[in-house]
């Protein structure tokens, strides 16, 4: 057989690196979970049982707002408020309402925060829990309004206000109105505080942008979950601006604690007890 | 030589044609005065036409004009006896925010504003008007001082945003901004904020929780820059022009949304054309704003500020049934 020179360089052998076609899931979707931090594979059921904390590396997986309420408050004590508020499309962004509607179905929430009244070891508290599975927990009019109404409810009841933040920041699609939600929530917090009421902010992964630069940072006591990303500007933006490599722990809860920006980093297993004790220590009558 | 903006090109061309003709007549015997007069008239009409029909992106360009008057320009035009006060007493003095005490029409006031530079050297010193936490903490210190001595506070907003840097994060940029929002809400003296250039996001709002918020006609106020919005929403920063329109960031847009009280008119072509005249327009609005606020009690001032921000938001709370249907 006569071969041309060119044929000598042609790949005619079967590829040595045979790609192994992945075995079709013998395990149904969702039964196992891989930890994004340490790659440990575990039963989802076991992860749930452990408050969604990786048993191997203690990585705190994101919780939905409903999971948080179930974990944090006394069983059956939670009554949600303002579930009827609905997002509109002030700037007529194409597809915005569709995206919000699809997240409503996905999360079972009307917007990226769940608010209401409940009890923590028998004491009445008002809580707002943000859900990062809903539009990255971003804050538009409804989120701002629900949080403001929850603060006002707490002021009215002279109850502590407790927020769990999880948000990428202000919601672009509502423009400057989103920005103004930072001011709206802050003026309500000022009133709440001026009457001697307690506000505890618990920052969870991630808390950035307009949410971190408003109510999240305004707690009488600011707590955070381990390793939570907390910051004003995005890491990529900062790296482009300062043109230097940022430390690995940059903008983590531990980094903020070290720089004096947090009262404490509290693991999820200790959170209920810790917050409950803080609330107890703020009861004005004798304990 | 004042920098011309892209939409001003036709004006520049017409002006050079007129100058050319004028030179030509002065050097020859031909009388072209009639033609020149006609062209001058056309120029005036064109000028009006262009400046009265500015598109959002044109306004963004005017707001960013390198010669646009800054906080210090207006301070020198509007106030007497200005004494600049420096430092946050904790970390340092941020040159991206200036503040101090002065006299406005016989009344002692506290004045605070973002400060850009007008050339590269000054811009580097002032970090292009993008504050660090110590800038916001200096502002808060001066506001508390104003409250103690019962002086009204005037804030000028002019920043692309709070600085996104490593040191800023370490020292608590978020907390510094958030603290100002909360503390401004509770101040017992009148606060008036005027957006004089760019009002960029939280870094602008940190001087903006006021009883009255006004904007210069060609200033902008937004949650994110048009470039940032374009790259997030359409993954393409080049679509900034489109984003400037979609995001509704100009003074007329914010007036329509009831977020600001008044639009302060600008001299034809933008504030940089005549700082002195522009300052007069500011002075009129400042005066009437102060007059409206001066009779309010401390509680009423706080109450008015609370309601101003409390009511901002666009949502529906009627359609209860529809929402619950969607959730099923």
pLDDT, tens only, A68-125 = 999 999 999 999 999 999 999 999 998 999 999 999 999 999 999 999 999 999 999 9
User: What mean pLDDT value characterizes chain B?
Assistant: 92
Nearest Cβ partner of A190 from B166, B182, B208?
B182
CB contact under 8 A, B312 and A246: no
Mutation target for B interface from A95, A173, A179, A259: give the one with most B CBs within 10 A: A179
* Torsion angle of C-alpha atoms B222, B224, B227, B232, degrees rounded to 10: -140
Say what the pLDDT of residue A27 is.
64
Structure tokens at A5: 């020179």
* Average pLDDT for A209-222: 97
Q: Given this model, what pLDDT does residue A1 score?
A: 54
Of A93, A184, A231, the CB nearest to B169: A231
The DSSP H or E segment spanning B111 is strand B107-114
Q: Considering only CB atoms, which chain B residues are within 8 Å of A244?
A: 166
Cα(B277)–Cα(B282) distance, integer angstroms: 9
* Residue B290, strand partner residues: none
Q: CB–CB of B172 and A259 under 8 A?
A: yes
Three-class DSSP category at B161: coil
Does the structure show a pLDDT above 60 at B198?
Answer: yes
Task: Give the CA diameter of chain A.
Answer: 101
Take residue B36 and report the two structure tokens written for it.
Answer: 């020149």
Q: Does the pLDDT at position A216 exceed 60?
A: yes
Query: Whole-number mean pLDDT of chain A?
Result: 91
With an 8 Å Cβ cutoff, are A175 and B223 in contact? yes
| Among B143, B164, B254, the residue to mutate for chain A (most A Cβ within 10 A) | B164
* Amino acid A100: pLDDT: 96
Rounded to 5°, angle at Cα B243 from A172 and A231:
35
pLDDT tier, A14 (very low <50, low <70, confident <90, very high otherwise): low
Three-state DSSP state, A140: coil
Provide mean pLDDT across the span B131-151.
98
A137, A131 in Cβ contact below 8 A?
Answer: yes
For chain A positions 82-101, those within 8 Å of chain B (CB to CB) are 82-88, 90-91, 93, 101
Closest CA–CA distance from residue B170 to any residue of chain A (Å): 6
Which range has the worst mean pLDDT, A28-32, A206-210, B119-123, B301-305?
A: A28-32
pLDDT band at B277 (very low <50, low <70, confident <90, very high): very high
Q: Please judge whether A193 and B182 are an interchain contact, meaning their C-beta atoms are less than 8 angstroms apart.
A: yes
User: What phi and psi values does residue B150 have, to the nearest 5 degrees?
Assistant: 55, 40
**Residues A162 and A218: beta-carbon distance below 8 Å:** no
pLDDT at B303: 97
How does residue A167 score in pLDDT terms, banded at 50, 70 and 90?
Answer: very high
Strands (E), chain B: 80-84, 97-104, 107-114, 153-159, 191-200, 212-216, 220-222, 262-264, 315-316
Residues 6-65 of A with CB under 8 A from B: none
Overall average pLDDT of the B106-135 stretch: 96
Q: Between chains, do B174 and A213 touch, taking CB under 8 Å as contact?
A: yes
- B173-185 helix and A176-194 helix, angle to the nearest 10 degrees: 70
In this predicted structure, what is the pLDDT of residue A275?
98
From A105, which residue of chain B is nearest by alpha-carbon distance?
B327
The residue of chain A nearest to residue B171, with distances taken between CA atoms, is: A259
Q: Residue A103's closest chain B neighbor by CA?
A: B327
Note whether B195 and B221 are within 8 A (CB). Answer: yes
Beta-ladder partners of A164: A129, A202
Check CB contact under 8 Å for A189 and B182: yes
Peptide bond into A206 cis (omega under 30): yes
> What pTM value is reported for the model?
0.91
Residue in B with minimal Cα distance to A171: B223
**Residue A187 and residue B259: Cβ atoms within 8 Å?**
no
Residue B284 belongs to what H/E stretch? helix B275-294
pLDDT band at residue B291 under the 50/70/90 scheme: very high
Cα–Cα distance for residue pair B215/B193, rounded to 1 Å: 8
pLDDT digits (tens, 9 = 90+) for A224-274: 999 999 999 988 888 887 777 888 899 999 999 999 999 999 999 999 999
pLDDT at B196: 98
Q: What is the pLDDT of residue B235?
A: 82
Minimum CA–CA partner of A141 in chain B = B313
pLDDT of B100 > 80? The answer is yes
Taking phi over 0 as left and psi of -120 to 50 as alpha, with beta for the rest, A92 belongs to: left
Q: Do B222 and A217 touch (CB under 8 A)?
A: no
More confidently predicted of A7 and B310: B310
- What is the least distance, in Å, from the CA of B154 to any CA of chain A? 18
Rounded to whole angstroms, how far apart are CA atoms B71 and B114? 7
- Predicted confidence (pLDDT) per residue in B205-249, tens digit: 999 999 999 999 999 999 998 988 888 878 887 888 999 999 999
Percent of all residues in chain B with a pLDDT value above 90, rounded to a whole number: 75
Q: Could A218 and B205 be called an inter-chain contact, meaning their C-beta atoms sit closer than 8 Å?
A: no
Does the structure show a pLDDT above 60 at B197? Answer: yes
Q: What is the pLDDT of residues B36-59, one digit of tens each?
A: 888 888 899 988 888 888 999 999
Supply the Cα-derived Rg of chain A in whole angstroms: 23
pLDDT at A12: 62
Contact call for B169 and A238, based on CB within 8 A: yes
Dihedrals φ, ψ of A235, to 5°? -55, -40
Backbone φ and ψ of A284, nearest 5°: -70, -30
Contact A84 B170 (CB under 8 A): no
CA distance B49 to B46: 5
Mean pLDDT computed over B95-121: 96
End-to-end CA distance of chain A: 98
Q: What is the pLDDT of residue A3?
A: 58
For residue A13, the model assigns a pLDDT of 59
């Amino acid at each position: 057989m006569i071969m041309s020179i060119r044929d000598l360089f042609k790949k005619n052998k079967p590829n040595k690196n045979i790609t192994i076609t992945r075995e079709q899931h013998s395990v149904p979707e969702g039964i196992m979970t891989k930890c994004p931090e340490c790659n440990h594979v575990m039963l989802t059921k076991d992860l749930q049982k452990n408050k969604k904390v990786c048993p191997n590396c203690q990585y705190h997986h994101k919780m939905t707002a409903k999971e948080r309420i179930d974990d944090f408050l006394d069983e059956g004590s939670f009554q949600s408020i303002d579930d009827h508020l609905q997002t509109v499309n002030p700037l007529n962004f194409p597809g915005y309402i569709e995206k919000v509607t699809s997240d409503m179905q996905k999360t079972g929430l009307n917007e990226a925060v769940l608010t209401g009244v409940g009890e923590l070891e028998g004491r009445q508290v008002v809580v707002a829990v943000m859900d990062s599975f809903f539009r990255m927990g971003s804050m538009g009019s409804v989120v701002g309004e629900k949080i403001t109404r929850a603060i006002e409810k707490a002021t009215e009841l002279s109850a502590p206000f407790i927020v769990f933040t999880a948000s990428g920041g202000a919601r672009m699609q509502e423009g400057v109105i989103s920005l103004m939600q930072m001011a709206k929530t802050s003026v309500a917090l000022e009133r709440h505080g001026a009457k001697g009421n307690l506000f505890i902010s618990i920052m969870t992964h991630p808390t950035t942008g307009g949410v971190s630069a408003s109510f999240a940072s305004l707690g009488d006591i600011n707590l955070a979950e381990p390793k939570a990303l907390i910051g004003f500007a995005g890491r990529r933006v900062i790296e482009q601006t300062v043109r230097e490599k940022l430390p690995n722990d940059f903008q983590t809860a531990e980094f903020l604690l070290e720089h004096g920006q947090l009262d404490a980093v509290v693991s999820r297993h200790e959170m209920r007890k810790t917050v409950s004790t803080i609330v107890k220590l703020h009861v004005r009558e004798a304990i | 030589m004042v920098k011309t903006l892209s939409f001003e090109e036709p004006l520049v061309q017409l002006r050079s044609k007129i100058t050319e003709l004028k030179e030509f007549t002065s050097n020859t015997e031909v009388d072209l005065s009639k033609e020149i007069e006609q062209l001058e008239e056309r120029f005036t009409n064109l000028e009006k036409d262009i400046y009265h029909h500015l598109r959002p992106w044109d306004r963004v360009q005017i707001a960013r004009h390198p010669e646009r008057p800054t906080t210090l320009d207006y301070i020198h035009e509007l106030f007497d006896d200005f004494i600049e006060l420096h430092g946050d007493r904790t970390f340092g003095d941020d040159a991206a925010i200036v503040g101090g005490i002065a006299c406005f029409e016989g009344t002692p006031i506290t004045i605070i504003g973002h400060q850009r530079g007008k050339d590269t050297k000054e811009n580097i010193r002032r970090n292009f008007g993008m504050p660090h936490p110590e800038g916001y903490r200096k502002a808060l210190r001066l506001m508390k001082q104003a409250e103690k001595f019962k002086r009204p506070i005037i804030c000028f907003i002019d920043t692309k945003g709070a600085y996104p840097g490593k040191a800023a994060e370490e020292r608590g940029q978020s907390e510094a901004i958030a603290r100002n929002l909360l503390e401004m809400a509770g101040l017992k003296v009148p606060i008036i904020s005027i957006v004089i250039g760019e009002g960029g996001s939280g870094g602008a709002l940190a001087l903006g929780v006021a009883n009255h918020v006004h904007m210069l006609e060609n200033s902008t106020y937004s949650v994110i820059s048009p470039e940032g919005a374009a790259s997030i929403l359409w993954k393409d920063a080049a679509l900034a022009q489109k984003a400037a329109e979609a995001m509704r960031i100009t003074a007329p847009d914010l007036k329509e949304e009831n977020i600001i009280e008044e639009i302060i008119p600008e001299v034809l072509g933008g504030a940089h054309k005549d700082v002195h005249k522009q300052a007069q327009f500011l002075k009129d609005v400042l005066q009437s704003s102060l007059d409206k606020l001066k009779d309010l009690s401390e509680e009423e001032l706080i109450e008015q500020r609370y309601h101003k921000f409390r009511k901002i938001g666009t949502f529906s709370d009627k359609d209860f049934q529809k929402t619950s249907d969607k959730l099923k």
